[in-house]
Chain A
Amino acid sequence: MLELGMALFSGVTGALVVASLPKATERLRRAVVLLFSVTGMVFSWRVAIKIFNGGNIGIIAQLGGLTWSLDPDPLGAMFGLIASTLWVFAAIYSFGYMERKTRPQTYYAFFLISLSATLGVAFSGNLLALYFFYELLTLATYPLVIHERSADAVKAGRKYIIYSLSGAAAILIAIVLTYIWSGKIDFASGPILVNTMRPGLNLLLALFVGGFGVKAALMPLHRWLPAAMVAPTPISALLHAVAVVYSGVYGILRVVYSVFGRELMGTLSLARKLPWVAAFTILVGVIIATQQDVLKRRLAYHTISQLSYILLGAFTLQPWGLGGAILHMISYSTLKVTLFFCAGIIAERADETAVSRMQGVGWSLPKTMIAFGVASLGMVGMLPLNTFWSKYYLMRGGVQSGQWSLALVLIGSGIINAICFLPTVVASFQGEKAKSSGETGGNTMLMLGPTLCLAGIALLIGLYPGIVWPGVEAVVNRFF
């Protein structure tokens, strides 16, 4: 109870504190942001540990004539844990990044509200609460997308809002249909539609997957994501590679395993096609990524591709597939945030945003490019890194579901990933050596520290995958 409340409200409280201190010094504001992000992280860890150990924390409220419930299960706890942990890294990185940017107060306030909204999505115990926090997340992250206030930013924000709200409308209709057909909307008591055999289930699944697929950037609903890259880099890193897009992915996982349940999913004709939608997104996303010259756009299309790895694993409806999906949620997020952080440092310190002009950047930003290289290797799926394991389990899941070709898709995507990133890393260490290092000064350390830390964590999980295994196991056991 207390842990859940503390985790959920730390963000909003922090935002209120930030908003009520318009004249605060930068140092004070940073302290407040750090304090409340760390509180959020500590308490979501405590929630997660309790849940993984088989505990149960639930809050049910009657508001607006409807029932709202917060009742995290291992899947939600895992999502909350990933998001809140990365939030702290992104907060520290923001301190360095926002140094010379305008409107820090607005930025930090909405940054913290988004934490609460994300944790709300993670901890929601029924479809209504999920919908509420999902909408809240859209509204809370919108000011972050348009933070630059340029014409491009406003346009991107508009796209983001329209896509997200359309998705949410589809979800709302799907929720009402679910409620009418089954009479319940909570996740705790097994799959909602478990004994519902009736026509129209394919349509319901399409509404749900289409709705959540917007935020999960499932092709062809992905267009808002590359546009949203006008946001400040920590936001692109945290929200558009992890928190916001994961809320869509998480929603789809919920729909597959908690609304339909894998038995019912197995009987639906649409469910058999979904892995191929994911496979299509994986391949096309990464191929488009290789064509992009702006680094952040390349990373965005790459995100689109990688998110579908997770969806692919979930759609196989196999324990190994789901395990791989959860493992990929953990591994991919650490590496992708690293990549974005590096992109931010390159843009800020070397003033370079185009991939084609990155020659020699490595000499002035050696640590950054090493972290970038490590993360790129991870995206390929090389062994000492955590994504190797997740890809392995994803392939196993694909094979287990009897679709060998899904494993081939993953291998193919790994090769394209190599084409996408490795030449850049190599090129950055060619050319003449720079005279001075760009990685000096206090702010750079604030940006570089979290980056290196995350790359280290990725390596650590790669070497000892056992440390995250209990969590993954808890999620898989919940549904199988």
Chain B
Amino acid sequence: MTAVIKTHLPVFVVAAPLFVSFLLSPMARRFGWVQSLVVGVQGLGLLLAVYLAGMILKSSGVPIIYSMGGWPAPWGIELWTGSLGAFFLLVVAGVTLPISLYAVNNLSDEVGDATRSTRFFVLYLLLAGVLAGMALTNDLFNIFVLVEVATISCCGLVSARRGPNAAKAAFNYLILATLGSGLILGGIGLVYMITGNLNMGFAGIALNGVWQDYPHVVWMAMSFFLVGFGVKAALFPLHVWLPDAHSTAPTPASAILSGLAVKGYIICLVKILFGVFEVHLLDVFRLDQILVLLGMLAILAGSILALAQGELKRRLAFSTVAQVGYIVLGFGLMNIKGVAGTLFYLASHAVIKSTLFLAAGALISATGKTHVKDFAGVGRKMPITMGVFSIASLGLVGIPLFSGFVGKWYLLLGSLEVGNLTAAGVIGIGSVLCAIYLFPIIRTAYFEPAPEDDWQDPGVPQRLALVMLGIAVIGLGVLPGPLLQLAQKAAADLLIIP
């Protein structure tokens, strides 16, 4: 029995949240059940993700390959639980659990009654399941399906908040994201056209033999993927939809959108670039330099734009644009340290940005204010929320012994190893800018006199979620050990270094 469960574990991890999400809508009248089911399935997901990651670590990176329906590749669809998959699965599970905990008994203000909240949870679990799928899939067309489902649930989550702004933001997002999907589909079509395969492994092998005959097709496919996923991952200058979407969404949705959804697309892009085209081709087409350049641009532009924002959630949203830059830059470095660092940074940012959005949401709903200058004295009235916000900010700036530092350290090692001093300088400037746009919030919160209003920390589940995430930020900074190892293995796999 256990053996059967074990073999079917990868597909279960993906299917469980999807399955539960379909169960939810008829249960809207018993909203308590809905919530406990959501948290329960997320908790189970985390346990399984930890177990899978442990298994991969123990077997030092030997992937667990699962053929859907028993059909082997290239005919069937594969779920490929390698180091990268296990890594991202762990990140997804680790971040979605606290976010769903935060959403417990907390949606009525932003989303509405039980029916609307249940719909929110349906979309939320759908997104969580799809992100897990993105981590494990090894099939190009599956990626397209997952990307589409993710886009639709993201749009739904954005529009879940009542009010005209949300609808507008969601519509804008939908239009641009559909454009992105179209490009991705085009890219997949081009790859299929010249390789005849949709399984990424087989497509990669086939491409290796024929790319010289179709250099333009390869180039076009690459650029389709880059722009398509770039739109979805809000890679500067394709980020225009993100600030509206992420800042108008309800708090838990902002957290999962900024923390995880954006990264899901990046992971897909990376899987395709490194799995199908492989390092060698990326080198030939100079994609490494393009990625580094785009990353640097995004860091600088995102940070400067974030500085210009007065609204707290918009500032955090633009900060995501900058952080996506770090991640893309790291993949462009194409050495073990840089790629491992960027993967760790991705995990760290997933935790930090969810924390920041959740804390910001708690601040906004407690005080009713949205501007960064309005939170005077919040630090004393809401010690847990603001404390966790500060920890996450320090982490994002990259103070040693917080999770962001480990990622930045390896990113710097990676960029200086290839002798790219400019990239290192941009990473440094990015940290300083990050401090400039986050620290004033902390200063007003702690060092300015509080008004008489009765502001309080949110309820118990919300506090628990915030504390869990805060501990994760410090924990990853002090003891990054296993996660960093997994990231290094994943980097080695991506770069095809034994």
Cβ of A214 to closest chain B Cβ, rounded Å: 12
Known: A64-B400, A128-B400. A172 touches B477 (CB 8 A): no
User: Could you tell me if A64 and B480 are in contact, using CB atoms closer than 8 angstroms?
Assistant: yes
Known: A165-B431, A166-B432, A173-B424. A64 touches B439 (CB 8 A): no
CA distance A157 to B439 in the complex (A): 11
User: Could you tell me if A172 and B447 are in contact, using CB atoms closer than 8 angstroms?
Assistant: no
Known: A64-B477, A64-B480, A132-B401. A173 touches B432 (CB 8 A): no
CA distance A157 to B435 in the complex (A): 13
Residues B413-453 near A (CB distance < 8 A)? 413, 416-417, 421, 424-425, 427-429, 431-432, 435-436, 439-440, 443, 446-448
User: Could you tell me if A149 and B447 are in contact, using CB atoms closer than 8 angstroms?
Assistant: yes
User: Could you tell me if A180 and B417 are in contact, using CB atoms closer than 8 angstroms?
Assistant: yes
Residue on B nearest A170 in the bound complex, by CB:
B428
User: Could you tell me if A169 and B443 are in contact, using CB atoms closer than 8 angstroms?
Assistant: no
Q: Which residues of A contact B429 (CB under 8 A)?
A: 166, 169
SS class, residues of chain A in contact with chain B: helix
User: Could you tell me if B432 and A169 are in contact, using CB atoms closer than 8 angstroms?
Assistant: yes
User: Could you tell me if B436 and A176 are in contact, using CB atoms closer than 8 angstroms?
Assistant: no
Residue on B nearest A180 in the bound complex, by CB:
B416
Query: Which of B409, B436, B443 lies in contact with A66, CB distance below 8 A?
Result: B409
Residue on A nearest B415 in the bound complex, by CB:
A176
CA distance A180 to B401 in the complex (A): 21
Q: Which residues of B contact A157 (CB under 8 A)?
A: 443
Q: Which residues of B contact A173 (CB under 8 A)?
A: 412, 416, 421, 424-425, 427-428
Most buried by B among A128, A131, A176, A177: A176
User: Could you tell me if A169 and B428 are in contact, using CB atoms closer than 8 angstroms?
Assistant: yes
Known: A161-B435, A173-B428. A65 touches B412 (CB 8 A): no
Cβ of A453 to closest chain B Cβ, rounded Å: 33
CA distance A165 to B429 in the complex (A): 9
Say whether B481 faces chain A, with CB atoms less than 8 Å apart.
yes
Say whether B287 faces chain A, with CB atoms less than 8 Å apart.
no
Say whether B122 faces chain A, with CB atoms less than 8 Å apart.
no
Q: Which residues of B contact A166 (CB under 8 A)?
A: 428-429, 432
Q: Which residues of B contact A149 (CB under 8 A)?
A: 447-448
Q: Which residues of A contact B440 (CB under 8 A)?
A: 158
Residue on A nearest B425 in the bound complex, by CB:
A173
Chain A, 51-76, contact with B by CB distance < 8 Å: what is the 0/1 string? 00000000000011110000000000
Q: Which residues of B contact A295 (CB under 8 A)?
A: none
User: Could you tell me if A172 and B428 are in contact, using CB atoms closer than 8 angstroms?
Assistant: yes
Task: Please tell me the size bucket of the interface on B.
Answer: 20 to 34
User: Could you tell me if B424 and A63 are in contact, using CB atoms closer than 8 angstroms?
Assistant: no
Say whether A162 faces chain B, with CB atoms less than 8 Å apart.
yes
User: Could you tell me if B481 and A65 are in contact, using CB atoms closer than 8 angstroms?
Assistant: yes
Say whether B405 faces chain A, with CB atoms less than 8 Å apart.
yes
Residue on A nearest B424 in the bound complex, by CB:
A173
User: Could you tell me if B399 and A176 are in contact, using CB atoms closer than 8 angstroms?
Assistant: no
User: Could you tell me if B406 and A176 are in contact, using CB atoms closer than 8 angstroms?
Assistant: no
Task: Please tell me the size bucket of the interface on A.
Answer: 20 to 34
Cβ of A215 to closest chain B Cβ, rounded Å: 15
Q: Which residues of A contact B478 (CB under 8 A)?
A: 63-64
Say whether A135 faces chain B, with CB atoms less than 8 Å apart.
yes
Known: A63-B401, A64-B401, A161-B439. A176 touches B413 (CB 8 A): yes
Cβ of B329 to closest chain A Cβ, rounded Å: 14
Known: A64-B405, A165-B431. A146 touches B447 (CB 8 A): yes
Residue on A nearest B413 in the bound complex, by CB:
A176
Q: Which residues of A contact B416 (CB under 8 A)?
A: 173, 176-177, 180
Cβ of B478 to closest chain A Cβ, rounded Å: 5
Chain A, 103-132, contact with B by CB distance < 8 Å: what is the 0/1 string? 000100000000000000000000010011
Q: Which residues of A contact B479 (CB under 8 A)?
A: 63-64
CA distance A289 to B214 in the complex (A): 71
Known: A64-B477, A132-B400. A162 touches B448 (CB 8 A): no
User: A64-B405, A162-B432, A180-B417 are known contacts; what are 7 more A-B pairs with Cβ within 8 Å?
Assistant: A64-B406, A65-B406, A65-B484, A106-B447, A136-B399, A165-B432, A176-B416
Chain A to chain B contacts (Cβ below 8 Å), 30 pairs: A63-B479, A64-B477, A64-B478, A64-B479, A64-B480, A65-B406, A66-B409, A106-B447, A135-B400, A136-B399, A139-B399, A149-B448, A154-B443, A161-B435, A161-B436, A162-B432, A169-B428, A170-B428, A172-B408, A172-B412, A173-B412, A173-B421, A173-B424, A176-B412, A176-B413, A176-B416, A176-B424, A179-B413, A180-B413, A203-B421
